[in-house]
A and B are shown apart, each in its own frame.
Chain A
Amino acid sequence: MSTPVHALQGALTIHHAVELQAQLQQQLAAGTDTLDLSAVTDCDAAGVQLLLATDRSLRDNGRRLRLQATPAVVAEVLQRCGLQALAA
């Protein structure tokens, strides 16, 4: 199965949570399992939640979410939540 990489952009925050959810759902349908975060500028708890939910959906299908080019701002948030493993 092809697993194209999808690049997320801008702020993964509550303000864009609804659009991001739609975007991610499309990507899930397209078989994406890797998110490139290099263009992400901010991340809050809503963003973390979206990433976790995406991971959950993938895991339900026996796959897992992969993150690449995680910027420091996202890495810090994940580390605060004890979710470093997600970025690995």
Chain B
Amino acid sequence: MNTDDDILAAAREGFLEEARDTLVQFEQALLAVEDDPADAEALNSAFRAAHTLKGGAGLFGYDAVVLFTHEVESVLDLMREGRLPLTPEGMALLLQSRDQMDRLVAEVGSAQPDPDTAGISQALGQQLRALMGAPPASAPAAAAATSAATGSVRHWHLSIEMGADALRNGLDPLSFIRYLDTLGEVTAVHTPLHRVPPLAALDAEGCCLGFEIRLATAAGRAAIEDVFAFLVDDCELAVLDPDATPEEWAALLARRAPGDAARAALLQAWQALGVPFDARAGEAADEAEPPAAATPGVPAGTERRKGKPERRAGGDDTRFIRVRADKLDQLIDLIGELVIASSGAQMVAQAESSPRFSEAALRIHDLVQAARDGALGLRMVPIGETFSRFQRVVRDVSKQLGKDVDLHITGGDTELDKSMVEVIADPLMHLVRNSLDHGLETPDKRQQAGKASTGQLALHAYHESGSVVIEVSDDGRGLDRERILAKAIERGLLDAEAAAAMPDAEVWLLIFAPGFSTAAAVTDLSGRGVGMDVVKRNIEALRGQIQLTSTPGRGMTTQIRLPLTLAMIDGFLTLVGGVHYVLPLAVVHECIDLPAECRADGSRTCGTFDLRGEVLPWLDLAHFYGVQPQPGANGRRSLIVVRDGAARLGLVVDRLLGEHQTVIKPLAGIFRPLKALAGSTILGSGDVALVLDLQGLLAAAMKPAARPAARPLAGH
């Protein structure tokens, strides 16, 4: 008994997870349709998503989900058939329904029915039925009603068999088919081939053609038959209306296709055309089949629990397997240990000075590196999924605020660590809402400012030297220097004199101060609760940085820079004062002998030097960390030129030890104040090495003249 429950619980977990994915797909498809009502594929995809959810829920007997989703599916089906127009109201209702489906699924998860949810289901269900123009009905009855529902544009079927003399009489059937365009849309045509003889037997001036035509039109039977009035003596025409009974279809089939082969061919052709008639009832029907086949009856019962889902929608997901996140984490931990062990083995090989051992160790090292990259790659997901969530947010919020906003998403295929994607979603949401709420103006204000009335909001992601950069930009009013300063003075963060002299870049940083909001009115959406300080803290917890650029009246850009992965990096190992330091290899630009400028005064921590005619700052790590320099055997020290975006910096170190695979371990809280350290790692020898944080070093080297925020943004 217990085990049965366990299995059911596990299966339910699977359903919930799949349902959430399906709902995401559903929402994306709806938004795509709203964007471009002609996008038939998106509409199909929305329908399939609803269908999948209904099927899954039916399997477990979640009747509330099944009943409600069924209504949604019916509406989508009518829209797909072109029998229900795609109106903004309809789309809004479908999006509301999606949220309701989400609630219903959540209810399954919490196993606590909420009477409110049921009420909403009922209300929305009524609205959906009203949209379809059908009377309130129970689920199975509504399914039957689908085919009888009336919409303005309906699908007619025309079957034409040309008379042998049609061509001789100067009638070209093609011109009639072309003329149908004036009535509506010819959605599909099929020319049966069974009457076409081999070339030798052909009467070249006779006619042996026929056509099966699907016509989507609002016109009635008389208007359609009128088109063929001229042809009436030279063809045999059958017009089947959208509500034709199976008997009528069967009669047409018998008349058009005398032999078995022709019958099968015509049936197949009809199916391809989307004819809602299935002579071989009971045989496997296609997923994309119109109403009769697409709506499996879902009678209340218990045995469906035992059944397997006959159909699986989409097919996109078959290339993926689901793996529990903690299994993946275990694997990555294990590989981290392997990396350290492999480094250890290499050191032993070197110490033993055995060429064969060294060679073997090197081979293992290469393989471990490949395994590491592969394992980390498993955790990488494209950020596009997170980005596309914002389409709904932008749509809803801009409507709510009465603003016109276009969202542009670029670089959605940029990959980053899954754990980061999850953490980054909230700060991004806050930034997007901030832009919508405070940044972008209302259409009339934009016009007053001489800008297009539609605001532009862009989400952009790209890789840059070992990090992922995510940008949120808008072309709104930008940050208001005076208001920020006034607020800062009011809050006692600085005095008026300091405020006047403050460079813009530092002013922008003020908005990251806790509890700082410049919005004149605290609105429903932002300007309260989580502030920019929380955003900043979230990003910094990921070892990332956040930067702002703003032009008054022209908009602002928030740039988030994150490390590619939290767990492992290719490092560059150095020795300073007997302590090992690791730099991310991706930031190391070149290594040179210590230039004369740095040697001039042995006691200085930082200064500038000349790199092939370019003046760069340098920082002596030994002095920076307050240790005694211990130059190598030849008494010389080295300088590493590192790069972060556009900024470059020379780091003075005692010795270069070369490339090193680094498994980053977080530093304990007690070391937090050490700004320029990102973490620690364990070397093969068991020694601890410290992982340097480049931004911290840059800030230290460049203070106070220019903070990183003042740098021109790369990629602009």
Contact = CB atoms under 8 A, between A and B. Distances in A.
Interface in B206-239: 207-209, 211-212
A52 to B, nearest CB: 5
A70 interface: no
A82 B189 contact: yes
B527 interface: no
A57 B188 CA distance: 26
B202 A49 contact: yes
A82 B190 contact: yes
Contacts of B196: 49, 52-53, 56
- The listed residue with most B CB atoms (<10 A of its CB), out of A25, A44, A46, is A46
A57 B198 contact: yes
13 contacts: A45-B162, A46-B204, A46-B205, A50-B202, A53-B197, A53-B201, A60-B198, A80-B174, A80-B177, A80-B189, A81-B189, A81-B209, A82-B191
Nearest to A21: B204
Contact of A17 (B177, B186, B205, B209): B205
A57 B207 CA distance: 17
B199 interface: yes
B172 A45 contact: yes
B178 interface: yes
Contacts of B167: 14, 17, 45-46
A48 interface: yes
B193 interface: yes
B211 to A, nearest CB: 7
A18 B173 contact: no
A82 B188 contact: yes
Nearest to B171: A45
A83 interface: yes
A45 B200 contact: no
Nearest to A77: B174
A53 B197 CA distance: 6
A20 B201 CA distance: 14
A24 B204 CA distance: 11
B316 to A, nearest CB: 26
A50 B167 CA distance: 13
Given A46-B167, A81-B211, A25 B199 contact: yes
A24 B167 CA distance: 20
A82 B268 CA distance: 14
Contact of A18 (B178, B193, B205): B205
Given A14-B167, A82-B189, A57 B200 contact: yes
A49 B177 CA distance: 16
B173 to A, nearest CB: 5
A46 B199 CA distance: 12
Report, as a range, how many residues of chain A touch the other chain: 20 to 34
Contacts of A60: 198
A54 B199 contact: yes
Size category, B interface: 20 to 34
A48 to B, nearest CB: 7
Nearest to A28: B199
Interface in A18-64: 18, 20-21, 24-25, 28, 44-46, 48-50, 52-54, 56-57, 60
Given A25-B199, A49-B204, A80-B189, 15 more contacts: A14-B172, A17-B204, A18-B205, A44-B172, A45-B162, A53-B197, A53-B202, A54-B199, A56-B199, A80-B174, A80-B177, A81-B191, A81-B211, A82-B212, A83-B191
A48 B198 contact: no
A14 to B, nearest CB: 5
Contacts of B208: 49
A39 B564 CA distance: 58
* Closest 10 A/B residue pairs (Cβ): A82-B189, A17-B204, A21-B204, A57-B198, A53-B202, A53-B199, A57-B199, A81-B191, A52-B196, A82-B190
Contacts of A17: 167, 204-205
A24 B199 contact: yes
Contact of A50 (B168, B174, B204): B204
Contacts of B200: 25, 57
A35 B167 CA distance: 24
Contacts of B173: 45
Contacts of A50: 199, 202, 204
A45 B209 CA distance: 8
Contact of A49 (B198, B209, B211): B209
Contacts of A25: 199-200
Contacts of B174: 44-45, 48, 77, 80-81
Contacts of B197: 53, 56
Contact of B207 (A24, A45, A81, A82): A45
Contacts of A52: 191, 193, 196, 209
Contacts of A57: 198-200
Interface in B144-198: 162, 167-168, 172-174, 177-178, 186, 188-191, 193, 196-198
A82 B193 CA distance: 11
